[in-house]
Amino acid sequence: MAVDSNRKSKTLKTLLLSRREVEQQLSMAEILEVVENAFKLKAQGKAIMPCKIYLELPEYHGDFRAMPAYIDGSAGMKWVSVYPNNRQYNLPAVMAMIILCDPNNSYPLAIMDGTHITNMRTGAAGGIAVKYLAKKNSSVIGMVGAGEQAEAQLLAINEVLPEIEEVKVFDRSPEMSQRFAQKMAGKLNLNIHLVETVEAASDADVVVTTTYATGPVVLRQHIKPGTHINAIGADAEGKQELEADLLAGAKIVIDDFEQACHSGEINVPLSKGQIKVEDIYCSLGEVAAGMKRGRENDTEITIFDSTGLAIQDIVCAELAYKKTKGGKVPAFDFFEHD
């Protein structure tokens, strides 16, 4: 018997989730769990994820990125923008939306804010990297950059390190540093204080860089043996936060090989021949899945090069959808017509 496709579509509803609704559903602990599993599945070849596509708009000082993926029975795409000057409009520098679809029939299950998910899943990736690559007794954290992503990184790191004794923060804007310190000290009850130089912030067990730099900010001479670095800021071609000599002498772990080569922390040193592809150790998923060893001693310098993966967005969106489904949130027939 033929199915009335029009009648069938009317039984389906698309959820519309605001940022507040997404925030209410997702905790950092939950995001750490699903993102780590996503990294493992990718390493095992159980995900489909083309590289992100960039739409660059230099005259507007920003860009858009399309990020599709399929993983663990979920399919969707994130549309995200990066506009570093958005503070003048009282808008986030990064804004995003996610469309989550049913892979059986392509119906849009949910359209949701992706800005919070982008921030939190990136923080979670940093937390997972610290879990596997930092020294187990790491207690001093150095933050280079004090924006929203720095906050998410510290939230995640606080979940995986049992005893953080000190957090040092540096930002070119003292106001940003002060706001970060006050907000995060109150939220996490940590000893957070401002430092005046990148070098002071880099004297730590774990260093996190979340800047928009297009040239080295953290130098080899700043970093002591045994340090782990989360290099988060370089997420587009030409961006760079770490000196090439620092990369050359470290164990480099990436989130995705193709993306990292074109838009991650390694993209500039690779293009200039300062490091080689052979210098890249492995992916974070391979470490998490037990396919590769993480930190092997207390003296090696480890670096996690994060570019941000669509699979991270999709698993978080799926979690938010499942937790919200059946609740009191707006829903509509996406294909309703007269």
- Our answer to whether residue 78 is catalytic in this structure is yes
What are the pLDDT digits (tens) for 269-279?
A: 999 999 999 99
The total of structural domains in the chain comes to 2
Long-range contacts, 59-65 (Cβ 8 Å, 24+): 61/85, 62/86, 63/236
Overall residue count recorded for the chain in this entry: 338
Same domain, 74 and 159: no
Per-residue confidence at 6, pLDDT binned at 50, 70, 90?
very low
Lowest mean pLDDT among 5-19, 96-110, 206-220, 251-265: 5-19
- Given 78, 131, 168, 239, the catalytic residue: 78
CATH number at residue 191: 3.40.50.720
Same domain, 95 and 235: no
For the entire predicted model, the pTM comes to: 0.92
Please give the DSSP secondary-structure letter assigned to residue 212.
-
Per-residue confidence at 7, pLDDT binned at 50, 70, 90?
very low
Look up residue 190 and give its amino acid. L
- Residue partners of 142: CB distance under 8 A and separation at least 6: 167, 168, 169, 170, 200, 201, 202, 203, 204, 206, 207, 208
Domain of 263 in residue numbering reads as 125-308
Same domain, 81 and 178: no
Q: What percent of the chain has pLDDT over 90?
A: 89
For residue 302, is it within any domain?
yes
Is the C-alpha dihedral spanning 72, 77, 82, 86 positive or negative? negative
8 Å CB contact between 228 and 304: yes
Same domain, 104 and 189: no
- Residue partners of 203: CB distance under 8 A and separation at least 6: 140, 142, 168, 222, 224
CA distance 56 to 46: 31
pLDDT at 338: 55
Is the C-alpha dihedral spanning 274, 277, 282, 283 positive or negative? positive
pLDDT at position 1 over 80: no
Same domain, 194 and 255: yes
Same domain, 181 and 300: yes
Same domain, 102 and 134: no
Same domain, 86 and 231: no
pLDDT at 335: 79
The position carrying tokens 């940003």 is: 176
Same domain, 150 and 113: no
Return the higher-pLDDT residue of 235 and 279: 279
pLDDT at 10: 53
Same domain, 266 and 293: yes
